Amino acid sequence: MKNPNAPIVVVIFLALMAVVFGLNWPVPAVLWFWVVVGLAAALIGLRQPAGDQAALRRRFIWIMLAYVVLVMAAVFIVRRGLLPGWELPLALLPLIPGVLVVFTVVNSLRLMDELEQRIQMEAFGFAFGITILALLTESLLGIADLESGDPGVYLLYMATAWLLGQLIARRRYQ
């Protein structure tokens, strides 16, 4: 059986060799390795077939792996000031797998049966409402000049509320 990801593995290997042996940049080669791995994971996820839910789940996992790796690499490089002038592109680099997640979730919703679509819509509605309440709370606390938290925490709020919304909706339809 031919491995469909073989060309990507070769590209990763060649990029790593170029980084380790050919480039004299101020960022350690290990960080470039993780950036390349993150982008490769996004490519592997994109190449996963999208014909059924299991395939979309595999695609989602690869893309989320890419997101996590790219966020960690970007935070490390930007916060240490290793590439002055590249802060904005590096900080926005994790948006690439973020966009891929949106398309993967939409494709997944299209393949679901009507009951599963209804469960997901209720879960999304629940997550949206909880996230809006959290944002509104932070905005109102800002009136009292209280320090606001990290905006990235709202992703955790939304993901947790989405999972909780799924549990509530599934319980309703059992």
- pLDDT tens per residue across span 68-86: 888 888 888 888 887 788 8
Same domain for 137 and 101, yes or no, is no
pLDDT of the residue at 62? 80
Which whole-number Å values give the CA distances from 164 to 12, 62, 134, 158, 171, in the listed order?
38, 24, 15, 10, 11
pLDDT of the residue at 1? 43
CB 127 within 8 A of CB 105: no
CB 62 within 8 A of CB 44: yes
pLDDT of the residue at 130? 92
Domain that holds residue 142: 112-174
Overall pTM surpassing 0.75 (yes/no): no
By three-state DSSP, how is residue 65 classified? helix
> What is residue 150's DSSP assignment?
-
Which residue ranges of the chain lie beneath pLDDT 50? 1-3, 22-25
Going through the chain in order, the beta strands assigned E by DSSP cover none
Same domain for 94 and 137, yes or no, is no
Same domain for 105 and 136, yes or no, is no
Domain C-terminal end among 111, 132, 154: 111
Same domain for 48 and 63, yes or no, is yes
Report the domain count for the chain. Answer: 2
pLDDT of the residue at 48? 58
Same domain for 148 and 72, yes or no, is no
